[in-house]
Chains A and B, each alone.
Chain A
Amino acid sequence: MIKTIAKPAERKQTACGECRSTCQSACKTSCTVGNQSCERITREQKIERK
Chain B
Amino acid sequence: MRHIFTYRDKHYIYDVGSGSLHECDERTARLLQGEKIEISDEECKATLEEIEGLRAQGLLDASETQERPIKSNEVKALCLHVSHDCNLRCKYCFADEGAYHSAREVMSLATAKAAIDFLLKNSGKRRVLEVDFFGGEPLMNLGVVKETVAYAKAEGAKLGKKFLFTTTTNALLLDDETIRFFNEEMENVVLSLDGRKEVHDAVRKTVNGKGSFDAVLPHIQKFVQMRGDKSYYVRGTFTAKNLDFSRDVLFLADCGFENISLEPVVTDIEELAIKEEHLPAIEAEYEKLCDAYIAREAAGKGFLFFHFQIDLEGGPCLAKRVSACGAGNEYFSVVPSGDIYPCHQFAGDKEFKMGNVFEGTLDETIRRRFAENSLFTRKKCGDCFAKYICSGGCSANNYHYAGDLNEPYPITCAMMKKRIECAMHVLAERKSRKK
Query: Separation in Å of the B168 CB from the closest CB of chain A?
Result: 7
Q: Are A24 and B264 in contact (CB under 8 A)?
A: no
Please measure, in the bound complex, the distance between the C-alpha atom of A39 and the C-alpha atom of B319, giving whole angstroms. 13
Q: Which of A1, A13, A16, A24 has the most CB of B within 10 A?
A: A24
Q: In whole angstroms, how far apart are the Cα atoms of A28 and B325 in the complex?
A: 13
- Chain B CB within 8 A of A9 CB: yes
CB distance from A16 to the nearest CB of B (A): 8
Query: Hey, which chain B residues are within 8 Å of A16, CB to CB?
Result: 317
A47 is an interface residue with CB less than 8 A from chain B = no
Chain A, range 5-39, C-beta contacts under 8 Å to B: 5-9, 11, 13-30, 32-39
CB proximity of A42 to chain B, nearest CB, Å: 8
Q: Does any Cβ of B come within 8 Å of A50's Cβ?
A: no
- In the complex formed, the residue of A with least CB distance to B412 is A26
**Inter-chain contact A27/B344, CB cutoff 8 Å:** yes
- Collect the chain B residues with CB atoms within 8 Å of residue A32's CB: 307, 389-391, 416
Contacts of A46 in B (CB 8 A): none
On whether the beta carbons of A36 and B316 are closer than 8 Å, the reply is: yes
Give the residues in chain B near A3, CB-CB below 8 Å.
22-24
Known contacts A1-B28, A5-B428, A36-B316; is-contact A21 B311 (Cβ 8 Å): no
B220 to chain A, nearest CB (A): 15
**Cβ contacts under 8 Å, B320 to chain A:** 15, 19, 22, 33, 36, 38
Is the CB–CB distance between A8 and B312 below 8 Å?
yes
Given A4-B20, A7-B19, A15-B68, the answer on whether A21 and B331 have CB atoms closer than 8 Å is yes
Given A5-B22, A8-B313, A29-B306, is A34 in contact with B390 using a C-beta cutoff of 8 Å? yes
A30 CA / B17 CA spacing, docked (Å): 25
Contacts of A7 in B (CB 8 A): 18-21, 59, 312-313
Cα–Cα distance between A30 and B333 once the two chains are bound (Å): 14
Chain A CB within 8 A of B117 CB: no
Instruction: Report whether A23 and B327 are in contact in the complex, using a CB–CB cutoff of 8 Å.
Output: yes
CB-nearest residue of chain B to A34? B389
B23:A15 contact, CB within 8 angstroms: no
State which of B12, B126, B314, B390 has its C-beta within 8 Å of the C-beta of A38: B314
The reply to whether B22 and A2 form a contact with Cβ atoms under 8 Å apart is yes
Whether the pair A2, B13 counts as a contact (CB closer than 8 A) is yes
Q: How far is the CB of B320 from chain A (nearest CB, A)?
A: 5
Interchain CB contact under 8 A, A2 and B50: yes
A4 touches B22 (CB 8 A): yes
**Could you tell me if B309 and A35 are in contact, using CB atoms closer than 8 angstroms?**
yes
Nearest A residue to B430 via CB reads A5
Q: In the complex, are the beta carbons of B51 and A21 less than 8 A apart?
A: no
A23 near B24 with CB under 8 A, answer no
B330 at the A interface (CB under 8 A): yes
**B50 in contact with A38 (CB, 8 Å):** no
- Chain A residues with CB under 8 Å of B307's CB are 32, 35
A29 and B23 contacting across the interface, CB-CB below 8 Å? no
Closest to B28 in A: A2
Residue B25 is within 8 A (CB to CB) of chain A in the complex: yes
Contact A33 B321 (CB under 8 A): yes
Q: Give the distance to chain A from B422, nearest Cβ to Cβ, in Å.
A: 13
Q: Mark B173-188, 1 if CB is under 8 A from A, else 0.
A: 0000000000000000
Is B77 in contact with A4, judged by CB distance below 8 angstroms? no
**CB of B128 closer than 8 Å to a CB of A:** yes
The answer to whether residues A29 and B427 also contact, given A5-B22, A21-B325 and a CB cut-off of 8 A, is no
Could you tell me if B70 and A15 are in contact, using CB atoms closer than 8 angstroms?
A: yes
**Cα–Cα, bound, A14→B322 (Å):** 12
Partner of B20, one of A6, A36, A37: A6
CA distance A38 to B320 in the complex (A): 9
Residues of B within 8 A of A (CB): 12-13, 18-25, 28, 47, 50-51, 54, 59, 67-68, 70, 72, 74, 76-77, 79, 94, 126, 128, 130, 132, 134, 164, 166, 168, 190, 233, 235, 237, 261, 263-266, 306-307, 309-321, 325-327, 330-331, 343-345, 388-391, 393-394, 396-397, 416, 420, 424, 427-428, 431
Binding site for B on A (CB under 8 A): 1-9, 11, 13-30, 32-39, 41
Q: What are the 3 closest A-B residue pairs judged by CB atoms, nearest first?
A: A34-B389, A15-B319, A26-B263
